[in-house]
């Protein structure tokens, strides 16, 4: 029987999430034995025509051309999975959604007329149906293996949806907020990194985006008790998942307060 065909596509992004596939050094050749890597330009010149059984999409939609291209990719894909913060939430480049794109273009480029860009950076789900979203900036490479394995085995990927706090408890890392007053986004951020930052004595900065039903205002109040002002909260929630709804609402709220208070 023919192996299922895998395609990997890139939109606006850093390449890090698709690089994760090449970073599973011990398993790379095993993966290539259970799926046919049919279209993966970063790794291969070979392009096997679609349709594809499993398509991994990295990056966000930021140009008129890409907004068209994603529809063709959807048509060619049986099962489409977005990988990483850019594809699932718009990525760090979504910071432009709060700014004047014309001004941005003039800041970076001498001839903005050479560029074609949209006003916004948006996640893939805003444009086409997505079958599964894998979070992270970058994704965890073993989680990516789990997504491919689950697909091959015909089951739902086993990816946690609880908060980073659960991972800290599990690995026995003392709470950085309670222990040494370090502001941490862990209580509102989805698990997946293994609670990395707290294990290095720093607060979580939200790479995996909002957990399900996060209480961001409660956390914001706790940060304020640690001396963080509204502007500091805006910076924190406007990171790599800034455009994910719960983080977006929270940063907008505190931006208004920061402006009112002249911070």
Partner 1 sequence: MADVRNIDVDYIARVEGEGEMHVKVVDGVIEDVWFGIFEPPRFYEAFLEGRPFSDAPDITARICGICPVAYQMSSVHAMEYAFGTSVTGQLRSLRRLLYCGEWIESHILHMFLLHAPDFLGYESAVHMAADHKDIVELGLRMKKAGNAIVTMVGGREIHPINVKVGGFYRAPTKQELLELVPELEWSLEAVVETIKLVSGFTFPNVEQDFEFVSLSHPLEYPFNEGRIVSNKGLDIAVSEWNDYFLEEHVERSNALHSRVRERGAYHVGPLARYALNYEKLTPACREIAAEVGLGPVELNPFKSIIVRGVETLYAIEEALRIIDQYEEPAKPDVELNVHAGVGHGASEAPRGLLYHRYELDSNGRILKAQIVPPTAQNQLTIEDDLRVVLEDQIELPDEELSWVLEQSIRNYDPCISCATHFLNLKVERITTQ
Q: Does 44 bind partner 1 (CB under 8 A)?
A: yes
With CB under 8 A as the contact rule, the residue among 54, 143, 207, 258 that binds partner 1 is: 207
The residue (of 95 and 145) whose beta carbon lies closer to partner 1 is 95
- As measured in angstroms, the least distance from the Cβ of 151 to partner 1 is 18
| Segment interacting with partner 1, rule: CB under 8 A, options 72-80, 107-115, 127-135, 247-255 | 107-115
Any residues with CB less than 8 A from the CB of 194 and at least 6 apart, and which? 140, 167, 171
Question: Which of 6, 7, 8, 17: binder of partner 1 (CB under 8 A)?
Answer: 17
When the beta carbons of 29 and 260 are compared against partner 1, the nearer one is 29
- Angstrom distance (rounded) from CA 184 to CA 178: 10
Which of 34, 78, 152, 205: binder of partner 1 (CB under 8 A)? 205
Kindly write down the DSSP assignment for every residue of 201-251, as one continuous string.
TS----TT-B-SS--HHHHHHHHHHTT--HHHHHHHHSSTTTTSHHHHHHH
Based on the shown chain and the rule CB under 8 A, indicate whether residue 82 belongs to the binding site for partner 1: no
Closest separation between CB of residue 200 and partner 1, Å?
4
According to DSSP, residue 83 is labeled: E
**What phi and psi, each to the nearest 5 degrees, are found at residue 210?**
-65, 135
Please answer whether residues 42 and 10 qualify as being in contact, where contact means their C-beta atoms are separated by less than 8 angstroms. yes
Distance CA 148, CA 40 (A): 15
Q: In 3D, which of 1, 10, 5 has the Cα closest to residue 59?
A: 10
Residues at the site binding partner 1, with contacts judged by CB under 8 A: 10-20, 22-23, 25-26, 28-29, 32, 37, 40-46, 59, 62-63, 66, 91-93, 95-96, 99, 103-105, 107-111, 114-115, 117, 121, 137-138, 193, 196-197, 199-202, 205, 207, 235, 239-240
């Amino acid at each position: 029987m023919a192996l299922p065909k895998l395609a990997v596509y890139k939109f606006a992004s850093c390449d890090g999430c698709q690089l994760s596939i090449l970073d599973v050094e011990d398993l790379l050749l095993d993966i290539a034995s259970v799926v046919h890597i049919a279209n993966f330009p970063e790794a291969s010149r070979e392009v096997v025509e679609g349709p594809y059984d499993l398509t991994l999409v990295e990056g966000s939609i930021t140009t008129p051309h890409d907004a068209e291209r994603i529809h063709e990719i959807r048509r060619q894909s049986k099962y489409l999975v977005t990988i990483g913060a850019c594809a699932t939430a718009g990525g760090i480049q979504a910071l432009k959604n709060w700014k004047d794109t014309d001004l941005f273009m003039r800041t970076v480029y001498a001839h903005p007329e050479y560029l074609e860009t949209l006003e916004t950076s948006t996640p893939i789900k805003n444009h086409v149906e997505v079958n599964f979203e894998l979070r992270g900036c970058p994704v965890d490479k073993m989680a990516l293996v789990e997504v491919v394995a689950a697909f091959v085995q015909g089951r739902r990927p086993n990816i946690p949806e609880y908060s980073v706090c659960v991972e800290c408890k599990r690995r026995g890392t003392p709470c950085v907020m309670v222990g040494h007053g370090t502001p941490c986004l862990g209580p509102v951020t989805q698990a997946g990194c293994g609670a990395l930052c707290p294990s290095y004595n720093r607060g979580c900065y939200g790479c995996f985006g909002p957990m399900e039903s996060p209480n961001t205002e409660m956390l914001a109040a706790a940060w304020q008790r640690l001396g963080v002002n509204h502007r500091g909260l805006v910076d924190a929630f406007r990171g790599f998942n800034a455009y994910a709804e719960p983080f977006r609402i929270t940063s907008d709220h505190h931006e208004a307060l920061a402006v009112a208070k002249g911070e």
